[in-house]
A and B are shown apart, each in its own frame.
Chain A
Amino acid sequence: MKDKQNKIILSIKNLKKYFPVRLGAFGESSGIVYAVDGISLDVSRGEIMGIVGESGCGKSTTGFVIVQLYRATSGSVYFNGIDLTKLSERELRCMRTKIQIIFQDPYSTLNPRMTIGESIGEPIRAHKLMKNSEVKNRVFELLKDVGLKPSFSNRYPHELSGGQQQRICIARALAINPDFIVCDEPVSALDVSVQAQIINLMKELQEKYNLTYLFIAHNLAVVRHISDRVAVMYLGKIVELANKDELFDNPLHPYTKSLLSAVPEADPKLEQQRKRIILEGDVPDAMNPPTGCRFHTRCPIANEKCSKEIPYFEEKRPRHFAACHYVKRRCNRRR
């Protein structure tokens, strides 16, 4: 564990991503969507970092900015000490062999006209890592890794089930031996029984190849199961960050608390006794985020201070960070 903490593979510093939008039929007025608004995060080698949040909180955008599918508005993404946001497209190509991404919907990310074998082999060919003759064997090896028979390499995506397609996407991401994989809702489109298969597979592969995952999902239970540490996002900001057990057993931020209490559990007795914190209203518009603490419009304990001052994201308990005015700091260690 200590070894893990020392080797930081990915370090995000004050990352911002704004999307300009034009409104009105003729684009007369314009606005800015504050999708990711100043987040900082360190991920150690071999760690699974979970990001949770509701739709529109900027969790996927964060993942996309890390792999540079979106270029950041400001801030930096250090991968092994190199700032990816400063690299040109050409330089990024080399870096992309180390960072891969798995998307939510496997069917739309696989080319329907390419066989499975071609799809998996494509990143190897694109980066010219192997001779053409060797690629085939590597594809078989990868298919075996994700629990499929070699015969699958001649099939087309539409012949496979959702779970099998997601296995193919995982194999393709692994093809060039990356160190870091951004998993953007990899199991959300799958059924419960298949979801469990994919989660187990991803965990196995992580241990086998000592991979680092940034695991983005909206399902809290899934994130709890797979992650080492978890960050909770709300409207473009991280509101809480801690080890998974600490976060789920002892949440500090009122948003995390209400999020956890909103999730139903498969235990009728528990459910009947449970007192829920039901949040009022919807997530505010990211184009026009609330002043001060972004959560204050829905927060059960908010008062005037919250609507004016932005709370610091600070260490409230040892290795447990949160951004809220009303969580007292109780840790001796100063950073």
Chain B
Amino acid sequence: MDNKLLDVKNLETVFKQRKIIIHAVNGISFSIKKGEMLGVVGESGCGKSVSMLSIVNLIPPSGTIKNGQILFEGQDLRKINKHDFYSIRGNKIGIIFQDPITSLNPFLKIGIQISEGLIYHKKLSKNQAMKRSAELLDLVGIANPKERLNEYPHQFSGGMRQRVMIAIAISCEPELLIADEPTTALDVTIQAQIMELIKNLRSRLDTSIILITHDLALVAGMVDRVIVMYSGFIVEEALVNDLYDNPQHPYTISLLKSIPKLRGQTASKLLSIEGSPPELLEKPQFCPFAPRCKYNIEKCWQATPPMRSVSEDNDSHKVACWVNKKNGVEK
């Protein structure tokens, strides 16, 4: 086994709502190495959260994983039973959700919520767990940790609650940390604080991190590798510098151009992608981006493009597009 911590192959997740079937994730494959930080970017409804929640089996009851393999440390997470899953989720895989107020229990003191995992997974005594919880709060930058253990979630501000969520997620020193839009509900100055914290924790704990976000700018300074998703497919996968310097997929190119810039010249008009993302009611038989794509050729309408490598030496930069830059079709 090479150093892949998580290897997802051909994952497919669908949701059933009455008679409608929504194809949220349409067979995606990716992997993450030990100690690596991976960014998953896409607009709302592109399947980025669903695919990552499928890994930890946390999708809502209307959803089912139809297909695929989820290999975590060589073990297929789809094949193990519920009880074995408990020893992985929260223990080896930690999760940070978007909205800390709905993820924390308003009736329980922070200390109890942090120590819960420690008592269950690490078999610590209550006192030991509380002591460790205070250390964790200190680690995530909350002042007076011992006193604050006895407070309730509503006594914390939004940024502080997110720090508590992070403390819970890292309490059992997980191998993999999934952060699902950890700063979307927060202000920019608080976002900068939380991102700095995640960066520090990463260098200290050496965990692999999956950062899910809609903000292309946020991942730029944080991650090693980026996956761009659209309509339940991975459309591009590249090392962070390659993606921003040399984006290949028309969707990535236009997405990068449609963000207003904070520095330098402002264009009088932003590049916009016409139309809106597809509704996922059918599993597309052609490239999902074709209806909005400027470069679509006949082939785009005939079959979904497979991922192909565009980097010269290795497989680090992959794109799912029929149109080839080298074949003379200008992008």
Residues of A at the B interface (CB closer than 8 Å) are 54-55, 161-164, 191-197, 199-200, 203, 218-222, 224-226, 248, 258-272, 274, 276, 278-279, 282-283
Contact = CB atoms under 8 A, between A and B. Distances in A.
B31 interface: no
A266 B260 contact: no
B43 A268 contact: no
A4 to B, nearest CB: 17
Contacts of A221: 259-262
B256 A193 contact: no
A268 B260 contact: no
A54 B189 contact: yes
B191 A262 contact: yes
Given A54-B189, A262-B191, A268-B221, A203 B269 contact: yes
Interface stretch (B99-107, B164-172, B211-219): B211-219
B266 A224 contact: yes
Contacts of B266: 224-225
B329 interface: no
Given A263-B188, A268-B241, A161 B276 contact: yes
B189 A258 contact: yes
Given A191-B43, A194-B276, A278-B196, A200 B188 contact: no
B305 to A, nearest CB: 20
Given A193-B272, A259-B188, A283-B187, 15 more contacts: A191-B214, A192-B43, A194-B272, A195-B258, A203-B269, A224-B266, A225-B270, A264-B191, A264-B221, A265-B261, A267-B220, A270-B220, A270-B221, A278-B192, A282-B159
A233 to B, nearest CB: 13
A260 B262 contact: yes
Nearest to A277: B192
Contacts of B189: 54, 258-259, 262, 278-279
B11 interface: no
Nearest to B257: A196
A257 B273 CA distance: 32
B287 interface: no
Interface in B247-267: 254-256, 258-263, 266
Given A192-B258, A203-B269, A278-B196, A265 B263 contact: yes
A47 B304 CA distance: 47
B234 interface: no
B270 A199 contact: yes
B157 interface: yes
Nearest to B267: A225
B262 A224 contact: yes
Contacts of A259: 188-189
**Cβ-closest 8 pairs across A and B:** A271-B221, A225-B260, A262-B192, A196-B258, A196-B272, A54-B187, A191-B43, A193-B273
Nearest to B270: A196
A248 B218 CA distance: 19
Contacts, number: 128
B190 interface: yes
A5 B218 CA distance: 38
Nearest to B141: A280
Nearest to A195: B258
B271 interface: yes
A259 B188 CA distance: 7
Contacts of A272: 221
A266 B196 contact: no
B196 A265 contact: no
Given A161-B276, A193-B43, A196-B272, A266 B187 contact: no
Contacts of A203: 268-269
A197 B216 CA distance: 17
A269 B160 CA distance: 30
Nearest to A245: B266
22 contacts: A54-B189, A163-B276, A164-B276, A192-B259, A193-B254, A193-B272, A194-B272, A203-B268, A222-B260, A248-B263, A258-B189, A259-B188, A264-B191, A264-B218, A264-B220, A265-B220, A266-B216, A266-B259, A267-B244, A270-B221, A279-B192, A282-B157
Contacts of B273: 193, 196-197
B75 to A, nearest CB: 33
Contact of A192 (B158, B216, B240, B241): B216
Contacts of A260: 262
Interface string B211-248: 00011111011100000000000000000110010000
Contacts of A274: 221
A220 to B, nearest CB: 6
A218 B272 CA distance: 21
B217 A193 contact: no
Nearest to B188: A262
Contacts of B214: 191-192
B262 A248 contact: yes
B254 A220 contact: no
B193 interface: yes
B311 interface: no
Nearest to A57: B187
Given A196-B258, A221-B261, A259-B189, A266 B272 contact: no
Nearest to A160: B276
A55 B271 CA distance: 28
B125 interface: no
Contacts of B259: 192, 196, 221, 266
A218 B184 CA distance: 12
**Which of A267, A271, A278 has the most chain B CB within a 10 Å cutoff?**
A267
A192 B262 contact: no
